[in-house]
Amino acid sequence: MPSVKLAPRVLENVSLLPYNTFGIDVSARYFVEINQLQEYIELVQAGQYAHVKHLFLGGGSNLLLTHNVDALVVKIQMTGIEVMEEDANHVWVKAGAGVVWHDFVCYAVEHQWAGIENMSLIPGTVGAAPMQNIGAYGVEIKDTFDYLDALNLSTLQMEHFDAARCAFGYRESYFKHAGKGQYLIAAVCFRLNKQAKPQTSYGAIQTVLDEKGIANPGIRDVANAVIEIRQSKLPNPREIGNSGSFFKNPTLPVEAATRLIEAYPNIPHYKVEGSTDIKFPAGWLIEQAGWKGYRAGDAGVHEKQALVLVNYGHAKGSEIQALSEQIKKSIVAKFGVSLETEVNIL
Ligand SMILES: Cc1cc2nc3c(=O)[nH]c(=O)nc-3n(C[C@H](O)[C@H](O)[C@H](O)COP(=O)(O)OP(=O)(O)OC[C@H]3O[C@@H](n4cnc5c(N)ncnc54)[C@H](O)[C@@H]3O)c2cc1C
């Protein structure tokens, strides 16, 4: 019997509440789940939804939805993890865009493949990870990234992007700038290290390992330490809506940075790799401006981590956006520093 191919079902007026970690209740005009890239290509070729924008959605953990979405929301669910190549020291592993990022990290840790364990528990999908070159605890995906496959939305042809073409920066990539809205990232290939070299110097990782008496940590120990630290510091989106860091940490040229440090001698600051610029923690600035724990209705600033804006229940996206604007203004007024938003506001 010939196999019957089922076209993906496009639904109308779907609540996006279960699909964004901020827990904002807006609806999508059209909504479809895509399990294979070909399903999306056929949907586009059929032309029925050419009159609206298409918005790709992974885990919805880097999005603030401020109104109903008059678009076709395409939930990316292509899964699969495949070893492409290996040698004595490295393994090249490719994962589908819809693979949950933390599941991919766990898979690597189980196989003793090092390089991404410091990014344990970052929410979201593999496909969205290159968008902002996700990073945590001294590591970014650019460090182990080999290439990605993306569908060019104008030609419907696949394109190969190596790291140079992705133009990764701090929470930045080509896909947030010149390539914005032009590609569907379908799969990402990483080059992981078989000779584990855990990086424990950043944040509290070493302290947690010392407390546990682990002198020679393996990558599983590092992953567990990162998970423990994150769970103690960051609100769980299942309990309090949030999108992690709302703002990027600002960097200043050395002269402006020196003036700021002279005015606030206790201000934490770090050298930016490969540049003379100095980076400052946005969370510190926001806390010093008195916002930590602030709440207006259901929109607020987390009580333990001032960089995280939260939805205590029924906040509208526009209320959280308005709060973020107030914070930005106050940071300019107090420190003369402009904060840039990390979260995608829609
Ligand atoms: C509690 C918490 C902690 C966090 N901690 C960190 C952290 O430590 N470090 C960090 O870097 N980030 C962190 N984040 C932010 C977030 O997890 C990452 O940015 C993540 O990569 C977003 O993935 P997603 O699948 O949820 O993307 P979404 O929110 O679904 O999408 C984000 C953007 O990417 C686009 N997009 C998604 N998938 C695709 C695709 N396949 N092709 C093309 N475009 C696509 C969307 O249209 C949107 O513009 C945190 C978030 C939360 C809630």
327 DSSP assignment = H
Does the structure show a pLDDT above 70 at 2?
A: no
Query: For residues 183 and 159, is the Cβ–Cβ distance under 8 A?
Result: yes
The residues with which 193 forms a beta bridge, in sequence order, are 90, 114
In angstroms, rounded to a whole number, what is the distance separating the alpha carbons of residues 143 and 141?
5
The residues with which 345 forms a beta bridge, in sequence order, are 64
For residue 271, report the distance from its CA to the centre of ligand 1, in Å. 26
Count other C-beta atoms under 10 Å from residue 302's C-beta. Answer: 22
Does the structure show a pLDDT above 70 at 233?
A: yes
pTM recorded for the entire structure: 0.96
Residues in the chain: 346
Which of 49-63, 125-139, 262-276, 321-335 shows the lowest mean pLDDT across its residues? 262-276
User: Mean pLDDT in the chain?
Assistant: 96
Query: What's the token pair of residue 315?
Result: 């906040």
pLDDT of residue 45: 95
Query: For residues 278 and 298, is the Cβ–Cβ distance under 8 A?
Result: no
pLDDT of residue 3: 55
User: Does ligand 1 have an atom closer than 6 angstroms to the CB of 65?
Assistant: no
In angstroms, rounded to a whole number, what is the distance separating the alpha carbons of residues 40 and 32?
9
Confidence label for 334 from pLDDT (cuts 50, 70 and 90): very high
Nearest residue by C-alpha to atom 1 in ligand 1: 244
User: Does ligand 1 have an atom closer than 6 angstroms to the CB of 127?
Assistant: yes
Confidence label for 197 from pLDDT (cuts 50, 70 and 90): confident
Count other C-beta atoms under 10 Å from residue 73's C-beta. Answer: 24
In angstroms, rounded to a whole number, what is the distance separating the alpha carbons of residues 215 and 209?
7
For residue 97, report the distance from its CA to the centre of ligand 1, in Å. 12
In angstroms, rounded to a whole number, what is the distance separating the alpha carbons of residues 61 and 244?
8
pLDDT of residue 1: 52
Does the structure show a pLDDT above 60 at 307?
A: yes
Residue among 270, 275, 318, 267 nearest 297 (CA): 318
Does the structure show a pLDDT above 90 at 11?
A: yes
pLDDT of residue 272: 87
pLDDT of residue 273: 81
Does the structure show a pLDDT above 90 at 174?
A: yes
In angstroms, rounded to a whole number, what is the distance separating the alpha carbons of residues 250 and 271?
12
Residue among 111, 119, 134 nearest 218 (CA): 111
Q: Point out the ligand 1 atom lying closest to the alpha carbon of residue 63.
A: 29
DSSP string for 197-241 = -----STTHHHHHHHTT-SS--HHHHHHHHHHHHHHHS--TTTSE
